[in-house]
Homo-oligomer: A and B are copies of this chain.
């Protein structure tokens, strides 16, 4: 199994690892951050611009794409890579999470989930088998098993029942997916915040055998401490030689905390969504460009950044664009944020290679605590 998707770990620092995941679509440097391209577009960015920030892989959402434009249509157009002009690896989620958060009138049973599209109310059924079919039609490089994202909070009984359903679906997903030459399948650990359930889930997935392992059901309101504790209860039970992906996470400090606990891959809408809302990520923490303090500030977001959006445009101009609702404001802040996240990941990889990740994390926390540059 592991030879299908070579993962070469080049260096370790405590539980953290840095390496290369080799896919037929190109290499993924880990720890990796995957920008979210929900509906076949990393919002406000061209694919060549996303690549230029240093992203090796993007994520796209099966739920959105199955409803519009449809997986069969994308397949007829040559697959998702060609459709969105992104030739590097693409990871797709299974659709399950967004069925729960976006669709109406859901009915979940052993077979799968039936729901109404948030676009036109059409009734749609998603089973493990259909979720695999869709991701194969899309031509995903990395597909995810269909799972139920256990709500938070959940009782131990509810979390166990939900996790066990996800494990049965994981097995069905694997059977339906098969072992295509250029597509790979990750299992997803569930179990809420209960260590015994997380361990049982990890063991159940290992028994099936996947190309990689995700930790799901986090960043749903449990808080950073509970999230990191759940990672500590999950990661040690995952195969050492396979990539580990923490789904939907997170803030820079979440990512650092997770890498320190052995996570290799991340995705999150924060840099893109925040960029559209006037919020920038910097080493000094998040900066709200709507704030009047920026209105006459000729300084850039970060004069040391290698990203033109962060380095060359004044805060005064960014403030104006955001206040005026100009598309360029969303474009520039999305660009700056994606570049910052990739700069963070590059820093993390270099720190692991140098055996100083703990220092790197402490320095990042200290810079964030110092905050933004002082107002003029």
Contacts and interface: CB of A to CB of B under 8 A. Distances in A.
A338 to B, nearest CB: 14
A68 interface: yes
A284 B14 CA distance: 62
Interface in A278-311: 295-296, 298
Contacts of A298: 77-78
A23 B44 CA distance: 34
A318 to B, nearest CB: 11
Contact of A314 (B44, B77, B326, B328): B77
A66 to B, nearest CB: 13
B314 A68 contact: no
A327 interface: yes
A358 interface: no
A317 interface: yes
A178 interface: no
A330 interface: yes
A85 B312 contact: yes
Contact of A43 (B40, B77, B327): B327
Interface string A28-58: 0000000000011101111000000000000
Contacts of A204: none
B327 A330 contact: yes
A353 interface: no
Contact of A40 (B73, B77, B312, B320): B320
A360 interface: no
A68 B323 contact: yes
A196 to B, nearest CB: 42
A289 B312 CA distance: 34
Interface string A314-351: 10110011011011101110000000000000000000
Nearest to A297: B77
B43 A320 contact: no
A276 B326 CA distance: 12
A331 B45 CA distance: 9
Given A40-B317, A44-B331, A68-B323, 13 more contacts: A39-B324, A41-B326, A45-B328, A46-B332, A68-B320, A69-B295, A69-B316, A76-B296, A77-B314, A77-B316, A85-B317, A276-B327, A327-B330
Interface of A: 39-41, 43-46, 68-69, 73, 76-78, 83-85, 276, 295-296, 298, 312-314, 316-317, 320-321, 323-324, 326-328, 330-332
